[in-house]
């Protein structure tokens, strides 16, 4: 009975800490968001340098800016270890630069598949980089593995930054938005802790896999109505997702007057090696200027 009480107390404290970390209490004046990296380390460095987040040595130079990365750092390439080691380092450096960042990464995508042992998109070179299948499996263990425990303790399903922008790996739906960001994150972490990978939050219409908004499945007009409804439910100005690769254009996708933005431009060489990042600048009048950053120019979205 006593041990059960301790477990309940520990779980309650964990959930409280999770809720407190879901919405940043300390806003920063510049937010940079980067989409799916898919184990392409060289292009990860390139896009972060382009966005003035890191220097040529891979060190944080962005002061109190906030970096948000929307998951899918794994699969399709061989640079998984290097990318996650970089993100671990940037987390520490960003915090030391002024504490504007609690974490340098926020959302999780195909990482869930790897925690589950679903390796359908993992390359042979990537497995070899870990030292073989068994060594890779050990690294991904959520309790004892350096990578699995880092993902479990550092990633959320969704995140609201500065009170106006909700980030998730894939698209949000009205049904999931009604649960709220905090509840979604609690549900996801509980499912992970119980190794319940068949939970709806990880399935096709959950915020880890849904593509309906990016593809305007319901049609252009109705999609904008859905986006507006989700924004009202969550109390935000815009939705930002990755997951649905814009590899044909290599450009950030903006729909419904900037109400929805897809930042998966195909950064990895597997999808064309396109470099782009999203930048949100906080203006003195309380508005935000949202721009897409490319190697040769910056384009204002809204």
With beta carbons less than 8 A apart as the criterion, state whether 32 and 63 touch. Answer: no
pLDDT at 136 over 50: yes
Its pTM stands at 0.88
Portion of the chain with pLDDT greater than 90, in percent? 68
pLDDT at 156: 85
Among candidate residues 257, 106, 95, the one with its CA nearest the CA of residue 169: 106
pLDDT tens digits, 154-201: 888 899 999 999 999 999 999 999 999 999 999 988 998 898 988 999
> Of 2-6, 149-153, 211-215, 217-221, where does mean pLDDT reach its minimum?
2-6
Q: pLDDT confidence of 281, banded at 50, 70, 90?
A: very high
- Which residues 6+ apart lie within 8 Å of 264 measured at CB? 35, 36, 70, 72, 241, 242, 243, 244, 245, 246
* Rounded Cα–Cα distance for residues 120 and 158 (Å): 24
With beta carbons less than 8 A apart as the criterion, state whether 100 and 26 touch. Answer: yes
Tokens encoding 201: 């939050």
pLDDT at 243: 93
pLDDT at 27 over 50: yes
pLDDT at 108: 63
* Rounded Cα–Cα distance for residues 161 and 189 (Å): 20
With beta carbons less than 8 A apart as the criterion, state whether 281 and 302 touch. Answer: no
pLDDT at 21 over 90: no
- Give the DSSP H/E element, type plus range, for residue 220: helix 220-234
Domain boundaries, the chain: 2-300
Domain spanning 2-300: which superfamily?
Metallo-dependent phosphatases (3.60.21.10)
Tokens encoding 136: 């890779």
């Amino acid at each position: 009975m006593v041990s059960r009480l301790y477990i309940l107390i520990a779980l309650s404290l964990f959930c409280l800490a999770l809720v407190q970390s879901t919405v940043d209490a300390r806003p920063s004046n510049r937010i940079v968001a980067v989409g799916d990296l898919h184990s392409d380390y060289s292009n990860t460095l390139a896009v972060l340098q382009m966005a003035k987040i890191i220097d040529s040595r891979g060190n944080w130079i962005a002061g109190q800016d906030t970096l948000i990365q929307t998951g899918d750092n794994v699969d399709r390439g061989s640079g998984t270890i290097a990318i996650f080691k970089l993100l671990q380092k940037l987390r520490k450096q960003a915090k030391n630069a002024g504490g504007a960042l609690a974490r340098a990464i926020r959302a999780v995508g195909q990482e869930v598949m790897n925690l589950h042992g679903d390796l359908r998109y993992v390359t042979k070179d990537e497995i070899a980089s870990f030292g073989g299948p068994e060594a890779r499996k050990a690294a991904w263990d959520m309790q004892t593995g350096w990578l699995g425990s880092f993902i479990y303790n550092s990633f959320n399903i969704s995140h609201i930054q500065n009170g106006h922008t909700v980030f998730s790996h894939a698209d949000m739906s009205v049904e999931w938005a009604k649960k709220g960001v905090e509840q979604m994150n609690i549900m996801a972490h509980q499912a992970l802790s119980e190794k319940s990978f068949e939970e709806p939050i990880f399935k096709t219409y959950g915020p880890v896999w849904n593509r309906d908004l990016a593809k305007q499945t319901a049609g252009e007009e109705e999609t904008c109505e859905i986006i507006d409804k989700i924004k009202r439910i969550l109390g935000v100005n815009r939705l930002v997702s990755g997951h649905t690769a814009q590899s044909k254009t290599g450009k950030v996708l903006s729909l419904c007057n900037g109400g929805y933005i897809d930042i998966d431009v195909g950064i990895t060489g597997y999808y064309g090696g396109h470099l782009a990042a999203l930048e949100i600048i906080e203006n003195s009048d309380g508005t935000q200027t949202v721009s897409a950053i490319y190697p040769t120019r910056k384009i204002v979205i809204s």
